[in-house]
Structure 1
Amino acid sequence: MTTLPRLMWKFIVPLFALALLVGCSPAEQVKPVTPPTPSVSSTPTMKGFDGKMLTGKFIVVLSTSEGDITVEIDADAAPKTATNFIVLAQSGYYDQLTFHRVIPGFMIQGGDPNGNGTGGNSVYGETFEDETDDANALMAIGYKAGVIAMANRGPDTNGSQFFIMDANYDLPPNYTIFGHVTAGQKVVNAIARVEKSSNDMPVEPVTFSVEVR
């Protein structure tokens, strides 16, 4: 959704608004964990993007190796982010990618073709700007269980990586919220609790593909 607990990958997200944490882990005393931060790929791609911003709401299904997650994407709230996600999904970009970072009580992160938090481009080339201001009504919700948001490595560095909240969590409003889970939150919870290595990567890959309904 990029920064999270533990400095581990090239992807780093500001922990508390300033620290860039690429895979942070919660501190001994509860500190906000930030979503992992994607690194910039060098090859811009458009992946079928026609230059038009989408509007309205879209239903997508993430078919994961642990079950299905249904998500409503709101292009009215975050048009550039929603358009990026939908166009990538329709192009097959997300097919058989993995949730490479999972943290129970926080979130699950995926969308990196490298599978380790270091890759991913947007349909606009490499990265694009945040949609975290008052124009995005979803930001007022905060990072509640079931929210889907973009992972980043700092301001205006969104690519293809995203995260889904496993539980309510107090994060700074630095990650663009663009939808929420409407069915399958138990699958999110299960993915967040699979066996994982010390860098929060599942021992057995958790794969997913995205279908736009």
Structure 2
Amino acid sequence: MCKISHRVCVLVLVLFSQFIVNAAVADSSKNGIQQALIQTTMGDITIELYADKAPITVANYIAYIKDSAFNGGEFYRVVGPDNDQGTPQISVIQGRASTSFDDIPPINLETTKQTGLKHQDGTLSMARGAPNTATQEFFICVGSQPALDFGGLRNPDGQGFAAFGRVTSGMDIVRKIQQNRQTKVVEDTYIKNQILAHPIKIIAITLNK
């Protein structure tokens, strides 16, 4: 148990977490494009991460991967025109780390205006509420989703979401997950018929050497 004040403990944890992310930014930006594998109970999804274009977002994602945070995670939300209560409607699957893992502090939003990356078929992007609140939840686009880009109308603040990679193999698995409509009852009408009753498990996400 920490013998100093709780506030100091939290500050130390935040600074240490930021150090990890900063180190990962420096390391990942050298690599340009980083390849990784998402293993799920429905099959494998191969992805590439654009550290040269979205260094903060990629470094954050890699930090979670290196901490094995996604081992035991899940794709738990599916959104498509038939169950989307938002406007404009989108098609995505949303994933998250294991619920037993403590999130790293949120990162700054790298907009598509800054990175030049767009929300196209297979794009990986960070889920968020307000700007600069993304931690580890991410989504994969099914089809082109321009409403999620900077200036798009999906989010009222107009900042869009932080695209940072794309699927290079396994979009058939992504689409199978997205077509799942065995959902559970929720109180929030915005996500009605979107939260899977039996989430698709993420076995692990690993970086290619």
Q: Same fold by TM-score, threshold 0.5 exceeded?
A: yes
CA distance in 1, matches of 2:183, 2:142: 16
Task: Indicate yes or no: 2:46 matched with 1:46.
Answer: no
Residue aligning to 1:132 = 111
Q: Give the letter aligned to residue 178 of structure 1.
A: F
Task: Indicate yes or no: 2:184 matched with 1:197.
Answer: yes
CA distance in 1, matches of 2:178, 2:102: 22
List alignment gaps of at least 5 residues for structure 1. Answer: 1-42
Residue aligned with 1:114, SS: coil
Residue aligning to 2:79 = 103
Give the TM-score taking structure 1 as reference length.
0.69
Residue aligning to 1:72 = 48
CA distance in 1, matches of 2:47, 2:139: 12
Once the two structures are superposed, the pairs formed by residues 7-26 of structure 1 within 5 Å of their partners are none
CA distance in 1, matches of 2:128, 2:57: 12
CA distance in 2, matches of 1:48, 1:186: 37
List alignment gaps of at least 5 residues for structure 2. Answer: 1-12, 82-90, 151-159, 186-191
Matched positions, count: 163
Deviations 1:138-191 (A, max 9, x none): 1xx3x2210000000111111111100122223242110001100000100000
Percent of counterpart pairs with the same letter? Answer: 24
Residue aligning to 2:142 = 166
Say which of 103, 112, 131 aligns to 1:121: 103
CA RMSD of aligned residues (A): 2.5
Higher helix share: 2
CA distance in 2, matches of 1:47, 1:65: 32
Residue aligned with 1:83, SS: helix
Once the two structures are superposed, the pairs formed by residues 145-184 of structure 1 within 5 Å of their partners are 145-172=121-148, 173=150, 174-184=160-170
The offset of 1:205, in angstroms, is: 2.2
Q: Tell me, yes or no, if the aligned pair for 1:104 and 1:189 is still in contact at 8 Å.
A: no
Q: Tell me, yes or no, if the aligned pair for 2:72 and 2:97 is still in contact at 8 Å.
A: no
